[in-house]
Structure 1
């Protein structure tokens, strides 16, 4: 069955990183998947009155913001089309629009029609992180969060953050297309962050993967004084991991996310591609 991937790109208020088009095409190519590129442009309604129009020229500012968003969207779709053509990748594309408060919701809703969502990440850009969180928690699909400023390369060493939880199990299942193509699989458990369900939780996962023809090595680490997300990323990079797989912990309270420590840490300082499932 053909794997369907989607790149979800908001164009307002901040554009995603410059590498997102090339990275998304590279990932879809590695998976032998098709790619749908969806830009979500802003549609700010004109709610100005006579006074605001006179003093602030609000209608013109709204038109400028909407036009800038559409122009960014067109530029992204052109860049992705050129990259997909260069790599001979099957590509579809579309441009949607949404009011500012509903851009993330629109992205998450669109992602439900695909097997894998991809979103960009940029350091210290809260609007882009918010979109990533919305897709992770509300699309119902595994979401690959891509660094926006560097090439991802071959995702041939997959590092699984394993604590025996439901969301971690879901993430491992969702990562199967990556695991089947990996040359190295590492299972990492953090032993001083919380009580694990079994002392041999990592070994049990490794046995299950081996039974599926996916040999993996097991490692235990200590977070120590570090945040657990930072400890996981540090270790993944130290062992030359190319993709971190983990469950996304979090709850939504009227659209305000309360994130688990590992999830918050990863999304605060992403340094390698991370596949999250919720």
Structure 2
């Protein structure tokens, strides 16, 4: 039995970190979940490439050293930033220096030692998405993405679950329920016109099953209309007042083979609230 929840938050610093407000939001959300939050900031070790001809034009070793020094200094700054988040008394910080090509795998590998990962999301920073994809698809742990303005300072009393009766949806449900406070409620969301479903009224079936377990649950069936599935799920979650959307993460990281499911791609491209992804 888990008595202390351990949450992990990796932060890359190269070529630059995600915006400070996104990090504050993620740290605040992670702290609100309770337990401890372990933050690892990654500085980079950039391999030196010997090129006498290039050195005649520009001092490449000096540029590489400057980039490494900037990355290291950013680690220190980010540690100060997350420690300043309200209610973050259980926030632990550490820094690791890894090869430039190894940041993403290092983050995924570390995440395996925790109950879940919480990551800041940024539409502008490609590195943020690379870290997210590496952890979602490579860690085997549930991962919560938090937008810049999407943190909560309260416990999770209401969550929404995207339900299509698939294995990954069931896993997302199982990963999200332990985060719900006693007496909390669940909204079950099923999109009717996106793909063939496993049967009729599957949202009601899950809501009934949750009710038999003592969890208040309400089913909602959604029509896409002119929206993407990610838009429909997020808009309905927000309209219902849920604090978190849990869904299965379909596909594989673009680091490996560039294949992602439509809902996952939509969330990565336009995150509107905290979303838990399980793969």
Relative to the length of structure 1, the TM-score reads 0.92
C-alpha separation between the residues in 2 aligned to 1:116 and 1:181? 19
Q: Which runs of 5 or more residues in structure 2 are unaligned? A: none
How many angstroms does 1:91 deviate by?
2.7
Does 2:169 correspond to 1:168? yes
Indicate the SS of the match to 1:92. Answer: strand
1:128-160 CA-to-partner distances (Å, cap 9, x unmatched) read 111111110001100011113554443432111
- Is residue 151–residue 274 contact of structure 2 (8 Å, CA) maintained in 1? no
The corresponding residue for 1:247 is 248
C-alpha separation between the residues in 2 aligned to 1:158 and 1:180? 10
Give the number of aligned pairs: 276
Indicate the SS of the match to 1:145. Answer: strand
C-alpha separation between the residues in 2 aligned to 1:273 and 1:128? 15
- Is residue 25–residue 89 contact of structure 1 (8 Å, CA) maintained in 2? no
C-alpha separation between the residues in 1 aligned to 2:189 and 2:151? 24
1:43-98 CA-to-partner distances (Å, cap 9, x unmatched) read 11111321222212111111111111111111111122233xx5262232211122
C-alpha separation between the residues in 2 aligned to 1:216 and 1:17? 36
Choose 20-29 or 62-71, whichever is displaced more: 20-29
The corresponding residue for 1:113 is 113
Choose 208-217 or 161-170, whichever is displaced more: 208-217
Does 2:239 correspond to 1:238? yes
Indicate the SS of the match to 2:205. Answer: helix
Choose 14-23 or 44-53, whichever is displaced more: 14-23
Specify which of 48, 51, 54 is matched with residue 52 of structure 1: 54
- Is residue 173–residue 247 contact of structure 2 (8 Å, CA) maintained in 1? yes
C-alpha separation between the residues in 2 aligned to 1:121 and 1:253? 17
Indicate the SS of the match to 1:259. Answer: coil
Does 2:226 correspond to 1:225? yes
C-alpha separation between the residues in 1 aligned to 2:93 and 2:131? 19
C-alpha separation between the residues in 1 aligned to 2:115 and 2:46? 31
- Is residue 229–residue 263 contact of structure 2 (8 Å, CA) maintained in 1? yes
| Closer, same or farther: CA 180–196 of 1 in aligned 2, 3 Å | farther
Relative to the length of structure 2, the TM-score reads 0.92
- Is residue 158–residue 178 contact of structure 1 (8 Å, CA) maintained in 2? no
Specify which of 36, 44, 48 is matched with residue 38 of structure 2: 36
| Closer, same or farther: CA 195–150 of 1 in aligned 2, 3 Å | closer
Indicate the SS of the match to 1:19. Answer: helix
C-alpha RMSD of the superposition: 1.9
Does 2:155 correspond to 1:157? no
| Closer, same or farther: CA 251–265 of 1 in aligned 2, 3 Å | same
C-alpha separation between the residues in 2 aligned to 1:124 and 1:156? 31
The corresponding residue for 1:140 is 140
C-alpha separation between the residues in 2 aligned to 1:132 and 1:165? 22
The corresponding residue for 1:95 is 95
Indicate the SS of the match to 1:189. Answer: strand
The corresponding residue for 2:273 is 272
C-alpha separation between the residues in 1 aligned to 2:27 and 2:8? 10
- Is residue 48–residue 58 contact of structure 1 (8 Å, CA) maintained in 2? no
How many angstroms does 1:231 deviate by?
1.4
Q: Which runs of 5 or more residues in structure 1 are unaligned? A: none
| Closer, same or farther: CA 68–254 of 1 in aligned 2, 3 Å | closer
C-alpha separation between the residues in 1 aligned to 2:182 and 2:12? 30
